[in-house]
Amino acid sequence: VEASFSEGEYDIVILSATESAALLTWLDTNGYAVSETAGELLQEYIDAGAYFFAAKVSLTALPEEATFLSPLQLRYSDPVFSLPVRLGTANAEDEQDLILFVMGDEGQTHISNYPQAEVEDECLFDEAAFESFGAFYDGRFVKALDDVGRDRASWVLEYAWDPGSCDPCSGEPLDTEVIEELGWVGDWGGATFTRLHLRYGPGAVDQDLVLYGSNIRDQEQGFRGLTIGGVTPPVGTMMFTT
């Protein structure tokens, strides 16, 4: 245990290890359910010099009126703009959805080591034909992934825009205070806010995501129902600033 502290309703520890068996033993002893089959994968991260961030919810610290857990926000520096998604599949039995909100100053954020899928958006939403817009969109999202192939994860660019504007808007655009709370440091003029969406099974990710600024500054808004301005990212998303 390199460090331990409490923040809000979370009890947090920072862990280091030299071999995965000891790390798995510690996690199991302390109530973290991680499959023993994750040992080989954990060892890869250990050999790469990774530290591990473990958070446990303290119910006694959770306000009685709370209906959602507070978001966890952490800051770290790394020369590689990457997300360790393989670790998130250690206990997965089915597909997972991952939504990334990324704000950077190098145009749209893309993923370099997985294929891009494109959702057909030149179509109209017929309320009489679908239970909801969510069902309507999900059908097209699944088709886009199927067209690329489901053996490997693929990603969809759902939104890319200036964080201070939108057209049309589902709410007020992000302002300086919100952008600073998200972790942005300094002037955000010329920045691009990108939303990426992935859905994959445990066997479809053989590498961690490698992201990059594409320097493509075109504004993209696939389906008007996905406007980001004024919308709080849902549970299960990750927000990055670069």
First to last CA, the chain: 28
Instruction: Return the beta strands (E) in the chain as ranges.
Output: 3-7, 10-15, 52-57, 82-83, 96-104, 109-111, 116-117, 155-161, 192-200, 209-213, 220-221, 237-241
DSSP state of 101: E
User: In Å, what is the CA distance from 199 to each residue of 72, 219, 233?
Assistant: 22, 23, 17
Tens-digit pLDDT profile for residues 129-157: 777 878 888 888 999 999 999 999 999 99
User: pTM to 2 decimals?
Assistant: 0.85
- Residue 124 has what pLDDT? 64
Task: Tell me the pLDDT of the chain averaged across its residues.
Answer: 86
User: Is the separation of the CB atoms in 238 and 98 below 8 Å?
Assistant: yes
Higher pLDDT, 119 or 132: 119
Counting residues of the chain whose pLDDT is more than 70, the rounded percentage is 89
Tens-digit pLDDT profile for residues 176-192: 999 998 889 889 989 99
State the Cα–Cα distance between residues 16 and 36, nearest whole angstrom: 18
Residue 236 pLDDT exceeds 50? no
Tens-digit pLDDT profile for residues 39-91: 999 999 999 999 999 999 998 999 889 889 998 888 888 888 999 999 888 88
